[in-house]
Amino acid sequence: MSSKPLLLLAVAAALTPSIIFSILITVNQVSILPNRPDTAYIFGRDTSSGAQIERIQLNLMGNNVATVTITIWVPIRGTYIKQVELYDSSGNLLASGSDTRFEQGSRTRTIDVTPDVPIDYVATVKACISRTAPCL
Amino acid sequence: MRAERLLLAIVVLASLTTLAYSAALSTAQVSQVGGTGLVNVSKADVRVLSVKLGSADFAVSTIDVVTLSLSSTVSGSYLVQVFVSVGTCSASGSTTASLSPTATTLTVDVSPDCAYSSQATVRVRVTQP
């Protein structure tokens, strides 16, 4: 046997354990690291009327938040403005929307937010409700 | 003769490298040759899609439970922690859940119960268990 093939064989044999070790170690050490571990939801409550936000849901179009659905409880009927705001992790307002209409009891409203923003940028969701002055 | 010596030198060098690598893996915290410690290699975008306060269907007066809808771009097991703040009341709860790109609904008990009497803040933290 000539020395060149023998040389290649020896090198391959010597390196094989290292290669297998590297693959095993790489696979075993994969761990999941969430990009942004914290998300905050702020539920507004109108203490004067008792109207309150009870559920907030982000609705996606692709990866963007297009609308926000809120469930409210309104014990005193009247005209209420509902606002939703989306913030990034630095506290910058990314998108907002609002809806004003007559409300009473438990209601679910879907509010358009503009502009559409990628959900992965949204760190804080704020929804609030307040009663508007009654018309005379 | 010269080729044999070269061959011997390479085999010895390769063997020593393998031995050193194995010893490092067995006795130290070396995860890769040339590196130290563990390296997180999979980044996940965890999405909190919805949050609901309380166990009542409507007219929630007490926050004893928080219902969440979550997804993650990387499927796996996650620790989900919930922190509730209403005025001076602070409550928390946690659970371990398997998340995937498809939204999962979780109900997390929080303790102590907080009266829903003013603006409530729910902070959801998702980490590795």
Q: What tens digit of pLDDT does each residue of A59-91 get? A: 999 999 999 999 999 999 999 999 999 999 999
| Contacting residues of A for B10, CB less than 8 Å apart | 7, 10-11, 14
How does pLDDT run across B59-70, given as a tens digit for each residue?
Answer: 999 999 999 999
Residue A56 lies in a domain: yes
Q: Give dist(CA B121, CA B88) in Å, integer.
A: 11
Q: How far are the Cα atoms of A61, A84, B100, B108 from residue A99, in angstroms, in the given order?
A: 20, 9, 33, 30
Q: Residue A25 above 70 pLDDT?
A: no
Question: Residue B92 in contact with residue B82, Cβ under 8 Å?
Answer: yes
Q: Do A54 and B18 touch (CB under 8 A)?
A: no
Among chain B residues, CA nearest to A122? B47
pLDDT the model gives residue A13:
73
Amino acid B16: pLDDT? 78
- Tell whether the model's pLDDT for residue B15 goes beyond 90: no
Q: Pairing relation of β-strands A45-46 and A51-61?
A: antiparallel
Q: Is residue A31 included in any domain, yes or no?
A: yes
Output the pLDDT for position A26: 53
* Cβ within 8 Å, pair B118-A47: yes
At A117-135, the pLDDT tens digits run: 999 899 999 999 999 865 5
How many domains does chain A divide into? 1
Q: Do A31 and B121 touch (CB under 8 A)?
A: no
Q: What is the distance in angstroms between the CA of the first residue and the CA of the last residue of chain A?
A: 107
Please state, for a pLDDT cut of 90, what percent of chain A lies above it.
Answer: 67
Closest B-chain CA to A55? B52
What does the mean pLDDT of chain A come to? Answer: 86
> If you average pLDDT over every residue of chain B, what do you get?
85
Q: Which of A109, A115, A112, A118 has the alpha carbon at shortest distance from A53? A: A109
Per-residue pLDDT band at B38 (split at 50, 70, 90): low
Query: pLDDT band for position B119 (50/70/90)?
Result: very high
- The predicted pLDDT at position A2 comes to 62
The CA distance from A75 to A105, in Å, is 6
Model confidence at B10, in pLDDT bands (50, 70, 90)? Answer: confident
CA distances from B33 to A57, B17, B37, B38, B111 (A): 46, 10, 11, 12, 46
pLDDT of B37: 56
Whether residue A105 lies inside any domain: the answer is yes
Put simply, the chain A residues between 76 and 95 with a CB less than 8 A from any chain B CB are none
Hey, is the C-beta of A45 within 8 angstroms of any chain B C-beta? yes
Q: Do the Cβ atoms of A3 and B5 come closer than 8 Å?
A: no
| pLDDT confidence of residue A18 | 65
Residue A136 is assigned to a structural domain of this protein: no
In a domain, A50, yes or no: yes
pLDDT in the model for residue A1 = 52
- d(Cα A34, Cα A16) in Å, to the nearest integer? 35
Candidates A24, A45, A54, partner chain B, best to mutate (most B CBs within 10 A): A54
Asked whether residue A96 is domain-assigned, the answer is yes
**Which positions 43-102 of B are in contact with A (Cβ < 8 Å)?**
43-54, 57-60, 69, 72, 74, 76, 78
Give the DSSP letter of residue A120: G
CA dihedral (A24, A26, A30, A33) in degrees, to 10, reads 170
Residue B36 has pLDDT above 70, yes or no: no
CATH assignment at residue A104: 2.60.40.3230
Best B47, B79, B124 member to test A by mutation, with max A CBs in 10 Å, is B47
Give the per-residue pLDDT at A132: 85
Range of the domain at A75: 3-131
pLDDT score for A24: 58
- Which residue of A20, A35, A39 is the best one to mutate when testing the B interface, meaning the one whose CB has the most B CBs within 10 A? A39
Gap from B11 CA to chain A (nearest CA, Å): 6
Whether residue B49 and residue A60 make contact (CB cut-off 8 A), yes or no, is: yes
Contact between chains at A45 and B17 (C-beta distance less than 8 A): no
Which one-letter amino acid corresponds to residue A36? R
What distance in Å separates the CA atoms of residue A42 and residue A127, rounded to the nearest whole number? 6
